Amino acid sequence: MFEYAPAPESRSIVNIKPSYGLFINGSFVDGSSSFKTINPASEEVLSEVASADASDVDKAVKAARTAFSKTWGKMPGKERAKYLFRIARLIQERSRELAVLESLDNGKPIKESRDVDLPLVAAHFFYYAGWADKLGYAGFGPNPKPLGVAGQVIPWNFPLLMLAWKIAPALAAGNTVVLKPAETTPLTALLFAEICQQADLPPGVVNIVTGAGETGAAIVEHPDVNKVAFTGSTDVGRIIARAVAGTQKKVTLELGGKAANIIFEDAAIDQAVEGIVNGIFFNQGHVCCAGSRLLLQESIQDAVLEKLKRRMTTLRVGDPLDKNTDIGAINSAEQLSRIRTLSEIGESEGAEMWQAPCDLPAHGFWFRPTIFTGVSQAHRIAREEIFGPVLSVLTFRTPAEAVEKANNTPYGLSAGVWTEKGSRILQIADQLRAGVVWANTFNKFDPTAPFGGYKESGYGREGGRHGLEAYLAA
């Protein structure tokens, strides 16, 4: 038997400090209280991180305002670009360090942080660095102006990548930022703060304030913030939308999803199976655009499910730092309990659960790759975002039924279409109400492509030329 020996990436490359302060006005300062961040794969405490209260947030916003009016807002685009290119290069140079830290704090497998997250993070900074001196050609008027101070709140599923999606376009457009990383994954943002220092970024242009929901609320509600950008749950998105209603603040929200991954009978089946796996098990299913609803054409249902189950038995669940791990740890005890609850609901509603047979580590937060068959549109596991490695399988008979079921959700972030027939791709994609439609692939990202949702998946676009609009007074 071919047993892969452990192949752990060394964690000695990253030096995690016992405690971190808040990054305000170019240096680390103490907060009034603190919280611990743990490794979800072992529950070991990694570091103690300052928690920012309203007065800390106020200091950060003031620093950002000063930087905006004194330096960054007035700086020519080509000068801003130099800083952004410098940051992008530093990210590349320190990518192994960042990848290891990301996997430690988040629980995602090193092969994903190394091969997906970090290359995309650097690519975002390179891409928007290129825009900094060309804003007049972006289609928002000859001389578009920045908004001012951007308050940004990001989730724990792609900590550094979401930071890049927020900070790179904001800085390229000439804004300054106050960013709050998620409570469970603050460390790579703090390492990014060190990179800002290393790049000699003027003080106050980037401020990182760590903390929980109250810190985020203080940013969103701060009167001197011109722009709010949030990625996270639809529930929190609603609270933010309410908080900024009636103010001058511009808002972009990137919220939940329950994407349909539609497999037609004429699809390339083996690659579709890979797409299903990538769609729902990538990053433990902690992906807002995950293909969490599989829509299978009835004629190929048995064949695909058989291949899918076979493929799932080869998924390697375990130590996120092992280079052969496919599925890492669930990010937090809280998220694990939500996944468990919804899975139990799925069973009690009558869907049939199947899990890949695999051993789980004794410590940490883990959930086996899971599929539910016999799911109907009325089941909660077909409607609610589980945000975990749990796939709901539904079937359809005609293309019209596939479209109808795919669109029958309050969300509309992404969708997948699998068919070898080119005309069908265009016909179906045209009818899907989703911000991104992938054809014969899934979960592919590129800094040049705009990303965002329909309906309760939020509004505004991030990425590409479109992503600049959110940070310009167009």
348 binds other proteins (CB under 8 A): no
Secondary structure E strands in 311-409: 352-355, 370-373, 390-396
* Minimum CB–partner distance for residue 309 and other proteins (Å): 13
Positive or negative CA dihedral for 86, 89, 93, 94? positive
Which residue number, 110 or 240, has a Cβ lying nearer to other proteins?
110
One of 9, 112, 183, 254 is an active-site residue; which one?
254
369 binds other proteins (CB under 8 A): no
CA dist 93 → 26, 29, 96, 133 (Å): 21, 26, 8, 24
2 binds other proteins (CB under 8 A): yes
Which residue number, 8 or 350, has a Cβ lying nearer to other proteins?
8
Q: CA torsion 55→151→447→435, rounded to 10°?
A: 130
* Minimum CB–partner distance for residue 112 and other proteins (Å): 11
Closest among 300, 280, 210 to 21, alpha carbons compared: 210
Options 29, 75, 239, 268; binder of other proteins; rule CB under 8 A:
268
420 binds other proteins (CB under 8 A): yes
Angle (CA) 442 445 451, round 5°: 100
108 binds other proteins (CB under 8 A): no
* Minimum CB–partner distance for residue 172 and other proteins (Å): 30
Positive or negative CA dihedral for 273, 336, 326, 289? positive
One of 9, 112, 288, 384 is an active-site residue; which one?
288
Q: Which amino acid is at 10?
A: S
446 binds other proteins (CB under 8 A): no
269 binds other proteins (CB under 8 A): yes
254 classed as catalytic: yes
352 classed as catalytic: no
3 binds other proteins (CB under 8 A): yes
d(CA 112, CA 283): 7
Q: Helix 234-244 and helix 213-221: axis angle, to 10°?
A: 30
324 binds other proteins (CB under 8 A): yes
95 binds other proteins (CB under 8 A): no
362 and 252 in contact (C-beta within 8 Å)?
no
Active site residues: 254, 288
Q: Which residues bind other proteins (CB under 8 A)?
A: 1-7, 111, 115, 266-271, 274-275, 314, 323-324, 420, 440-441
